Amino acid sequence: MSLDKNNFNYSKKAKLFHWFFVILFLYGVAKQVDNINQLEDIVFLRFEIFFALFFLIFLIIRFIYMKKTQKSSLPENTPLVQKNIAKIVHNGMYVLLAATALSGLLIGFLYSFNIKSGFAIETVVMMHEFVINLLYLFVLIHVLAATYHRLKKDGVWSSMVPFFKEK
């Protein structure tokens, strides 16, 4: 399949949103809370809350922009099942990213009210960890799918990725 099967290229703003969000996500993973007791440091707790709010607001802005201005770069002849899986993974990542930030905010909220142990905090932490693990799976699927399209040379990779462009 050649690039002419896919004439869609994401806007510069869409690419900027995507890659800034990748950096923001990787930063969040790198600086993640290793131990909930770290939240006893009020400066750290406030930073975590600020970061989660910024992350969530940026995610919402990106979601609205992408839904209103961009369309899929999948070629028209892509099988329907593949299009549906792509939509599930793509939308699922938005939901899981939002759920990660929201559950993190809930942990911070409980912790700030001195709820540091017990059923409520343990349940929210467990949900937060589950959502993050599911998110990692969706991100892996997304990266593998992008790599598949790069190897297939159908234009999907080059529509968003600024390196290793398809010839």
- pLDDT tens digits, one per residue of 103-126: 999 999 999 999 999 999 999 999
In a domain, 5, yes or no: no
pLDDT confidence of residue 121? 96
Task: Find all residues with CB under 8 Å of 37, minimum gap 6, and list them.
Answer: 116
Distance CA 70, CA 59 (A): 15
In a domain, 167, yes or no: no
pLDDT of 101 above 60: yes
Can you give the pLDDT at residue 111?
Answer: 92
pTM of the model: 0.89
Q: Which of 142, 146, 143, 141 is nearest to 157 (CA)?
A: 146
In a domain, 142, yes or no: yes
- Asked if residue 3 belongs to a domain, the reply is no
Q: Is 4 inside any structural domain? A: no
State the pLDDT at residue 167: 67
Domain assignment of residue 58, yes or no? yes
SS (H, E, C) 104-138: HHHHHHHHHCCCCCCHHHHHHHHHHHHHHHHHHHH
Tokens 């549906």 belong to residue? 84
Model pLDDT for residues 55-88, shown as the tens digit of each residue: 999 999 999 999 999 888 888 888 999 999 999 9
- CA distance linking residue 75 with residue 136, whole number of Å: 26
Residue 95 in any domain: the answer is yes
In this predicted structure, the answer to whether residue 166 has a pLDDT above a threshold of 80 is no
- Does some domain include residue 166? no
Q: Which residue range is the domain that position 94 belongs to?
A: 10-160
Number of domains in the chain: 1
